[in-house]
Structures are given as structure tokens and as C-alpha cells.
Amino acid sequence: MRLLILLFTLVGLAAPGFAQTKLKLEPPGEREFILDRADLIKPEDETKIRELCDKLLTDKATPIVVVTIESMAMYGGAGMSI
């Protein structure tokens, strides 16, 4: 049990370092759900994604946002990897 508590404590101490790593992106507008900066999503797929995301938000209060970017370096993430 002590080992488990120690493990959670160490993970908790490491978490703030990860939380500070953010890309600088403006969120999409309210109920837009898509930020396609890489222009990868086809218009017909955007429609389906918006419908699904809107339904999930309305029915389950589950917000989902789909984001595409060309390069993490373009948004302050040079040297980062996925």
C-alpha cells in the first residue's frame, strides 16, 4: 500500500511539468468542434463530425474538439513529439 501511495505521489509531482507544455492555438467557436489548420478534413466529413460532436455535447455533456495542424513547430512546439 505504501508503494502505491509513493507511486501516485511521484506521478503527481511530475504532472505539473507536463501540464506546462501547451501549443498556442485559439479554440474553435462555440459548437464549431473543428479546428482544421492543416486542411485535412473534407467538407462532408466536417458535417458528420459536427453533427456527432453536437449530439454528444447535447445528450451526454461530452465536449469533443477535432484539431489538425501542419506542424507543431508552427505553434511553439518545436522539438516536441507526439
pLDDT digits (tens, 9 = 90+) for 17-27: 544 566 677 88
41: number of Cβ within 10 Å: 16
Distances (CA, A) of 25 to 2, 35, 36, 53, 72: 41, 9, 11, 20, 10
pLDDT at 73: 74
Residue 15 belongs to some domain of the structure: no
Planar angle of CA 27, 29, 32, nearest 5 degrees: 105
Number of domains in the chain: 1
In whole angstroms, give the CA distance from residue 47 to residue 33. 10
In whole angstroms, give the CA distance from residue 70 to residue 39. 8
Residue 6 belongs to some domain of the structure: no
pLDDT digit string, tens, across residues 31-69? 999 999 999 999 999 999 999 999 999 999 999 999 988
pLDDT digit string, tens, across residues 2-16? 555 545 555 555 555
Residue 38 belongs to some domain of the structure: yes
Question: Domain range spanning residue 61?
Answer: 23-82
pLDDT at 19: 47
Closest-CA residue to 64 (of 20, 26, 23, 34): 34
Residue 4 belongs to some domain of the structure: no
pLDDT at 72: 73
Residue 34 belongs to some domain of the structure: yes
pTM of structure: 0.63
